[in-house]
Amino acid sequence: MTETVAGTDWRAWQESWDRQQEWYMPDREERLRVMLDMVEAVVGPEPRVLDLACGTGSITDRLLTRFPQATSTGVDLDPALLAIAEGYFDGDERVRFVTADLLDPQWASALPYDSYDAVLTATALHWLHNEPLTTLYGQVAGLVRDGGVFMNADRMKDEGTPRINAAERAHRHAQMERGRTGGALDWADWWALAAKDPVLAGPTAQRYEIYGEHADGATPSAEWHARTLREAGFAEARTVWRSPSDALVLAVK
C-alpha cells in the first residue's frame, strides 16, 4: 500500500472511490475493459495516454496494469481527487499529474507533451454543457496524433425514447437502493467521509469552493458526441459499447 507519513492509505481511498462509482454504474469495469481493448486495437500496447478529467486515476490504474509499458498524464482540477491520485501513484515514473481547468482556453499548455496516442475519459464530461464540450472536443482533436484515438464513456441519453429511459432509470434506481441496504456509499456519503479525513479535509473544502455540491452539465446522445467529434476534426467516430444508460464513443484522428 502507498502511504504518506501521516499514514494515509491511498489504496483504500482509491478502492473506496471505485466502489462508490460502481454503485451508480455496475458495468463500469466492462466499459473500461472495452476502452482498453480499443486502445490496444488502434494504437497498440505501449501508448502515451492523456487521462482527461482523471479524478483519482481509475483509467490510469487499469491502463498500467494491462499495459506496463504505457505512460499516462492525468489532468484534473479537483484537489481532493488529485491528492488521492498523486498519493496512489507516488513513485511511479510512468505517471504525471497536471492541475488544470478544462474551461480555461490555455489548459493544454500545462501538459508535458504536445500530442498523445490516446486521450481517454470516463464519467466526467457530463458536467460540461454542449457549447464548452464542443470547444473541448476541438482542443482534444489538436492533441491526438494522426491515427490516434479519443474515447469518452459517460451517460449519453437518447431523448427519443422517453418510456425506455424511464423504465431503465426506475430499474437502475431500484438496484441502487438494494445496494444501499448493503452499505454502499453514494456521492454525498463518500465526500462526507473525505471531509472528515485529516489529510483530505483541506482539499475537499477547496473542491467544494470550485464546484459546489455537483457541477451542472448535459448528457447529449452518443450520436451527438460522434457527430461533434467528426466536426472537430476526427476522421471517424461512433459508439463501440453501450448499456441502457451509458455509452462509449470512440473517435479516430
pLDDT at 183: 78
**Percent of the chain residues past pLDDT 90, beyond the cut:** 85
CATH number at residue 64: 3.40.50.150
In a domain, 119, yes or no: yes
Q: Is the pLDDT of residue 3 over 90?
A: no
In a domain, 4, yes or no: no
d(CA 52, CA 136): 11
pLDDT at 149: 98
Residue 216 sits in which domain range? Answer: 10-252
Give which of 156, 151, 169 is closest to 33, Cα–Cα. Answer: 151
The pLDDT tens digits for 63-98 are 999 999 999 999 999 999 999 999 999 999 999 999
In a domain, 1, yes or no: no
d(CA 194, CA 196): 5
d(CA 194, CA 22): 18
Q: Is the pLDDT of residue 215 over 70?
A: no
When pLDDT is averaged across residues 34-48 and rounded to a whole number, the result is 98
Secondary structure percentages of the chain, helix, strand, coil, to 5: 50, 20, 30
d(CA 236, CA 61): 27
Whole-prediction pTM: 0.94
CB 125, CB 156: distance < 8 Å: no
In a domain, 85, yes or no: yes
Residue predicted with more confidence, 24 or 119: 119
pLDDT at 5: 40
Least confident range of 7-16, 44-53, 105-114: 7-16
Mean pLDDT of the chain: 94
Q: Is the pLDDT of residue 6 over 80?
A: no
pLDDT at 180: 79
The pLDDT tens digits for 115-147 are 999 999 999 999 999 999 999 999 999 999 999
- Under the banding of pLDDT at 50, 70 and 90, the label for residue 217 is confident
Q: Total structural domains in the chain?
A: 1
Q: Distances from the Cα of 157 to the Cαs of 122, 170, 176, 253, in angstroms?
A: 15, 15, 19, 25
Cβ neighbours, 10 Å, residue 158: 17
In a domain, 70, yes or no: yes
In a domain, 3, yes or no: no
The pLDDT tens digits for 99-114 are 999 999 999 999 999 9
The pLDDT tens digits for 167-179 are 999 998 888 888 7
Q: What cell does 121 get?
A: 475519459
Parallel, antiparallel, or unpaired for β 246-252 and 95-99? unpaired
Give which of 23, 235, 54 is closest to 149, Cα–Cα. Answer: 235
